[in-house]
Homo-oligomer: A and B are copies of this chain.
Amino acid sequence: MKQIGFIGLGTMGRPMALNILNAGYPLRVYNRTKSKMEPLMAAGAQVADSCREAATGADVVITMVSDSADVQDVVLGADGALAGCHKGAVIIDMSTISPSVASEIAVACDEKGVKFLDAPVTGGETGAINATLSIMVGGDADTLESVQSVLAVVGDKITYMGLNGSGQSAKLCNQVICALNILAVSEGLAMGEAAGLDTSKLLEAVRGGAAGSWILDNLAPKMIARDWAPGFRVTLQQKDVRLALEAAAQHLLPLFGTSAAHQVMRVAEAKGWGDEGTQAIIKAVKAIADRL
């Protein structure tokens, strides 16, 4: 069975690594904050002192970190995964980062005879725990084929999008849609409140029709209940939308709505709500008008 290295044991990475371990794969993990490796060690994983060591002897190395610079660091750094990989190994980055950075990392890996896939996910912490993530993959189709059985342990929907970078491009399109759907519900409910409506009745009246969405079903009730516990944090949604706007700019594509959504998220961060769930974006809409 393939030896797996896993780098990045955050909210998403930890349950994904546990699912890989529980599927019977020999697993060696690395995380910058050492204490986060303990649950994996307790479950039977080996622990590495560096990304390089996590990758040494591995057939597949999975990275699950935050942003483009983090992936560059854990893969290409002096003590990074690529330095530990043998030829023919496959590095799968499942973080959400810049498509063009993903392409650059793929080139650097290729020069060392290592395969690289960008394979970001949607589905959140719940999807990570239940192994129901949707995985969007960019890179060589044969390489995907060779690791399909590993990915099937963490997700239940794997879509091959094309060349390296296209997995990340697909994820950023997903985040553009999510961000604007969140702003849609935020502005719709904020307007309802301003007009003096009972927002629970409003939700009842509009759900199930053309205004319906996953965001309406899942986040509108939290907005109405003023429950700001994360789910998916504002600061990460903001980061993904920033990446989307940067990528769109590279294609010379102005995105007026996404840009407005990004600025509203910046308001939420400025107000100190970055670590709350994305439903807190309605507070930013109301804060702009001092309607808290």
Q: Could you tell me which A residues sit within 8 Å of B by CB distance? A: 99, 122-124, 134, 136, 157, 159-162, 165-166, 169-170, 172-174, 176-181, 183-192, 194-198, 201-202, 204-206, 208-216, 218, 232, 244, 247-248, 251-261, 263-264, 285, 288-289, 291
Could you tell me if B210 and A170 are in contact, using CB atoms closer than 8 angstroms?
A: no
Contact for A191 among B122, B209, B244, CB less than 8 A? B244
Q: How many copies does the complex hold?
A: 2
Instruction: Give the residues in chain B near A195, CB-CB below 8 Å.
Output: 99, 165-166, 169, 173, 247, 251
Contact for A123 among B165, B209, B232, B261, CB less than 8 A? B209
Could you tell me if A172 and B196 are in contact, using CB atoms closer than 8 angstroms?
A: no
Contact for A161 among B165, B198, B247, B256, CB less than 8 A? B198
Closest to A127 in B: B209
Instruction: Give the residues in chain B near A189, CB-CB below 8 Å.
Output: 173
Shortest CB-to-CB span from A237 to chain B, Å, is 10
Among A160, A201, A259, max chain B CB count under 10 A is at A201
